[in-house]
Structure 1
Amino acid sequence: MNDKTVKRRAELASAGARENLYLLLVRAFPILCPGEKLARAPYLEAMCYALQRVATGDCQRLMISIAPRHLKSICGSVLLPAFVLGRDPSQKVVVVSYGSDLAREHADLFRRLVTSEPYQRLFPKMRLHAKHNRIEHMKTTAGGGRRSVSHGGSITGFGANLIIIDDLGKPSEMRHESYRQELRDYFDHTLFSRLNDKRRDRIVSIQQRLHPDDFSAYLLEKERFEHLCLPSIAELPEEIPLYSGKVLIRRPGDLLNPEREPQDVLDQIRADIGRSAFQAQYQQNPSESESEFLAMEDLHLVDALPDNEKFVRRVQSWDTAAKDGPRCDYSVGLTFGWHCEEDRWYLLDVIRRRMDYTELKATIRRERKRWYVDRVLIEASAMGNALLQEFRRETNGVYLPVNVVTSKLDRFIPHTDWIKSGKLVIPTDKPWFDSFRRELLAFPDVGHDDQVDALTQFAEYMRRSQGAYLDTDPATGRRIGNYHAERPRREDRMRF
């Protein structure tokens, strides 16, 4: 190999590292972790690809859930700011973690990287300012910089184009509701306001899960966050995007990092820290570990829904919030379809968001027409009763009230056997699946249980009516007659 070939290959490698965060990780790792060997597992490429989409502006909100000691802080708190500032030294980056010692450690690694000779060859325009180079705030000569702050720290007067939240909460404190609320308030009232441009600037949250109602759960409720969830042992089939259009295919039982954490090591970790902590920190599913009534294996899951024509009956169940507001409950609508060949119900769709009365009324009307629904169950709450009065003027016999007189738990427990029996099938390819699964498996220890309420409402209605409320052709199972004109029967106006 002649000198020109060697030089050309070096130039290509440098160009790749400038444009590819994963290749930059490969180059930077010996600088950041001298003497250690980088285990080039596919999950690292998946994590770097997701972070790079943030750096290039293709993703404004990203959450990564992954177990500790998987280079999440190296990639998120050190490498991502170096990559962003290398491409544009005028960018302003804020990195937040739960403790000042951790914040200083990450800042020191960042400084070590960006002042190294290999990095400066890759990004010649990125230089730290000689006079403004404190560990907690390193400015660039182009006016940008990296600011480190720990939870509760003030960043008044400092705007940001990118906020990186790396393990914001202490594991030992996460069980306290007051502490979890403190984290939410810090994000809402301090961090979010630091974005210079709320439409275009970006937020990355890299956390291990610690509690069903932890900070990650709060961000996921905001619905704008893309979620890269990387459990140590895959529980569901999944295709995770990689560079160049490739995907990482994970099947149930696949290990995330088999070289460093093979099955016997994970089994020992589970034995050492307990199943509950393992499910939260390593499986990123604290809800399952908290469940008293249902486990993941109790759910009957399919990769995708069958053909729509197979569903000959459809029912919607709506749990309406008492009022609209950023901290109020959600209004939830679940759509179920009866499969004519399998004789069981499928969950077809989930609507879950905070809505005022006008929007909720329009949504229920639209979703009923969209799914050609036979019956719409609405909880007879303050808002529900008002909706029922309006809808009954339009169509009799379709919208039915559900009067709630017992506790949520008393309504839920009798239907767990029905869920376990396989009479309810849930598709895993829908965007609402993770949220629905987490709430169902964590109940009753969840911040919001509106999806469970809507499910219980439907299950109780089906138990009482046994499907007899529809006029059907016994040969085909398809509905016949003008059943919409009927008045609801006494047994349809149920109380439970």
Structure 2
Amino acid sequence: MTQIMSLDSSLFFTRYFFYQQYNRKYVIGEHHELITQKLDAVLRGEIKRLIINIAPRYGKTELAVKSFIANGLALNPSAKFIHLSYSDDLALDNSETVRDLVQQEYYQEMFPYVQIKHESNSKKKWYTTKGGGVYATAAASQVTGFGAGIVDEESEEKELSDFLTDIEQKQGFGGALIIDDPIKPEDADSETIRERVNQRFDSTISNRVNSRNTPIIIIMQRLHERDLCGYLMENEPGVWDVLSLPCIQEDEQGQEVALWPFKHSLEELKIMQVRNPLVFGRQYLQNPQPKEGLLYSDFKTYTIIPISKRKTRKAYVDTADTGSDYLCSIVYDETETGIYVTDVFYTQAPMETTEPQTAIQLTKHAVAVAKIESNNGGRGFARNVESQLRIMGNTKTRISWFHQSLNKEVRIFTRSADVTNLIHMPEGWDRKWPAFYKHVTSYSATGKNAHDDAEDGLTGMVEDFGKGVQSGTSKGDYGFY
């Protein structure tokens, strides 16, 4: 029964053999369950490319390297693994741990068919008597004479996977290429080292698989927006299954909680965050930001909008120019002294969704005037939103569309100081609009940015500051109050 449960569940396998090795329990957190669910899907052949982002010392190597390889060999002793890390010593230590585990009596009692060839006793490369084995080295080193996984058979494809048990599906598993922390934290800000790792993955590492079906697993703490994970997610969108596990989570009530209180309480995490927000954001929140060169300084925040003699409810809408762009619609109160953001609609959804949703947003928040960029279909978007407003019975909101002829990037950069000086965000805006918050706070002053829709909207707001409501409107109709 223990053998069946071990083969059926990566988490059970880890807990059982961890106790056998160290004579103590493996303390389980919710994130361990999430990780092993993904690993079990890899073993069943359901996931071919997996990224796991989690903080250091949260059990990732035990689960996704040591236990995963030992479990894979128990399922199929012909399975072949390549294991890479930034350090040759770390990779070799992990390989040795797996090799030693496989030879232990308690493992052999359960899986006697997994035998290591007597003549292969190297930590760097060792084989089973069935032709499986492990090759371990540093990510920057050469991998020669060894491929991960097994060569696809030319026989007819199996179409009965739905009728097989989990264990039967897993027994077709042939190994994997596993990369654990391909770059050192202290090297993360070196463009030369980062790009060397990224290019090496493309040119060499990814080719060390024996089949396109051989899974590749990358487990690492995020260290930079252009680390290997960032590079792959940008250049291979939709290819990678990504499990990101920030150490600060939200519960069902929207309250912050610690991912694994056994390791760090919420109070401890907050102290770490204050002490070094850059490192904490990268390694513990999985939200990498450049060490220097961010365009915006910290935004002012508010809990209550101050009383003002002259306050106007406005909206600035930047429509999506291309399929990958975001629609960004920002509702805000403009006073004589500043701008106070009250709502953000930020999405990559198609226009048939964004047009009615934008109309709902403008109506719900009693917007006086909404400025909509008319570039690249924006005029049609504006007309459709206006039609939706009237159908809803909203005759108060005025739609003003315009063509933006100035260079977007130049506008964003030249008005960046005005944005942080004039615009106030509500307390907790990182939780209210996480995608919007991430893009704005990680926008780089140098180099290429993937998206600039949120920044374009903020820039348009400060460009319009102090201009009041356009002619043809009246104080009573359009939101002075």
Indicate which of 396, 403, 407 corresponds to 2:406. 403
Mapped pair 1:177 → 2:191:
yes
Partner of 2:347: 349
**Structure 1 residues 468 and 208: alpha-carbon distance in aligned structure 2, compared to 1, 3 A threshold:** same
Residue ranges of structure 2 left out of the alignment (5+ in a row): 150-175, 304-314, 333-339, 360-370, 385-399
Q: Does the aligned pair in 1 maintain the 2:411–2:459 contact within 8 Å?
A: no
Indicate which of 30, 44, 60 corresponds to 2:32. 44
Partner of 1:230: 245
Indicate which of 196, 217, 220 corresponds to 2:210. 196
Deviations 1:202-249 (A, max 9, x none): 221111122333223223323322222222222xx36xxxxxxxxxx7
Partner of 1:79: 67
Q: Does the aligned pair in 1 maintain the 2:189–2:291 contact within 8 Å?
A: no
Mapped pair 1:277 → 2:265:
no
Counterpart-to-counterpart distance in 2, 1:427 and 1:274: 21
**Structure 1 residues 231 and 460: alpha-carbon distance in aligned structure 2, compared to 1, 3 A threshold:** closer
Counterpart-to-counterpart distance in 1, 2:429 and 2:440: 14
Tell me the SS of whatever aligns to 1:420: strand
Mapped pair 1:256 → 2:256:
no
Mapped pair 1:62 → 2:47:
no
Partner of 1:357: none
Tell me the SS of whatever aligns to 1:129: coil
Counterpart-to-counterpart distance in 2, 1:296 and 1:87: 53
Tell me the SS of whatever aligns to 1:333: coil
Counterpart-to-counterpart distance in 1, 2:351 and 2:471: 16
- Report the alpha carbon displacement of residue 467 of structure 1 after superposing the two structures with TM: 10
- Report the alpha carbon displacement of residue 68 of structure 1 after superposing the two structures with TM: 1.4
Percent of paired sites with the same residue: 23
- Report the alpha carbon displacement of residue 464 of structure 1 after superposing the two structures with TM: 5.3
- Report the alpha carbon displacement of residue 152 of structure 1 after superposing the two structures with TM: 1.3
**Structure 1 residues 45 and 467: alpha-carbon distance in aligned structure 2, compared to 1, 3 A threshold:** farther
Deviations 1:68-126 (A, max 9, x none): 11221111121111222221222222111001111111011111222222223333433
**Structure 1 residues 22 and 371: alpha-carbon distance in aligned structure 2, compared to 1, 3 A threshold:** same
**Structure 1 residues 314 and 472: alpha-carbon distance in aligned structure 2, compared to 1, 3 A threshold:** farther
Deviations 1:171-211 (A, max 9, x none): 2221111111111111111111223333x322211111223
Q: Does the aligned pair in 1 maintain the 2:330–2:457 contact within 8 Å?
A: no
Partner of 2:438: 438
**Structure 1 residues 139 and 298: alpha-carbon distance in aligned structure 2, compared to 1, 3 A threshold:** farther
Q: Normalising by the residue count of structure 1, what TM-score does the alignment of the two structures yield? A: 0.67
Tell me the SS of whatever aligns to 1:127: coil
Mapped pair 1:412 → 2:416:
yes
Q: Does the aligned pair in 1 maintain the 2:179–2:218 contact within 8 Å?
A: yes
Mapped pair 1:166 → 2:169:
no
Counterpart-to-counterpart distance in 2, 1:437 and 1:413: 17
Map 1:274-313 to 2 at 5 A: 274-287=276-289, 293=296
Q: Does the aligned pair in 2 maintain the 1:138–1:147 contact within 8 Å?
A: yes
Q: Does the aligned pair in 2 maintain the 1:137–1:145 contact within 8 Å?
A: yes
Partner of 1:28: 17
Return structure 1 stretches of 4+ with deviation > 6 angstroms.
373-376, 423-429, 465-477
Map 1:92-491 to 2 at 5 A: 92-161=80-149, 162-198=176-212, 200-221=213-234, 222-223=236-237, 224-234=239-249, 237=250, 252-263=255-266, 265-266=268-269, 269=272, 274-287=276-289, 293=296, 315-318=317-320, 332-337=324-329, 345-350=343-348, 367-368=350-351, 371-372=354-355, 377=373, 400-404=403-407, 406=410, 408-416=412-420, 420-422=424-426, 437-444=437-444, 448-451=448-451, 453-461=452-460
Deviations 1:262-298 (A, max 9, x none): 3455466557x63322332223223298657366996
Residue ranges of structure 1 left out of the alignment (5+ in a row): 1-10, 239-248, 301-312, 321-330, 352-366, 380-386, 478-496
Partner of 2:3: 14
Q: Normalising by the residue count of structure 2, what TM-score does the alignment of the two structures yield? A: 0.69
**Structure 1 residues 437 and 188: alpha-carbon distance in aligned structure 2, compared to 1, 3 A threshold:** farther
Q: Does the aligned pair in 2 maintain the 1:287–1:438 contact within 8 Å?
A: no
Q: Does the aligned pair in 1 maintain the 2:295–2:416 contact within 8 Å?
A: no
Read off the aligned partner of 1:24 and give its amino acid letter.
F
Read off the aligned partner of 1:233 and give its amino acid letter.
I
- Report the alpha carbon displacement of residue 377 of structure 1 after superposing the two structures with TM: 4.3
Q: Does the aligned pair in 1 maintain the 2:222–2:283 contact within 8 Å?
A: yes
Tell me the SS of whatever aligns to 1:128: coil
Aligned residues between the structures = 401
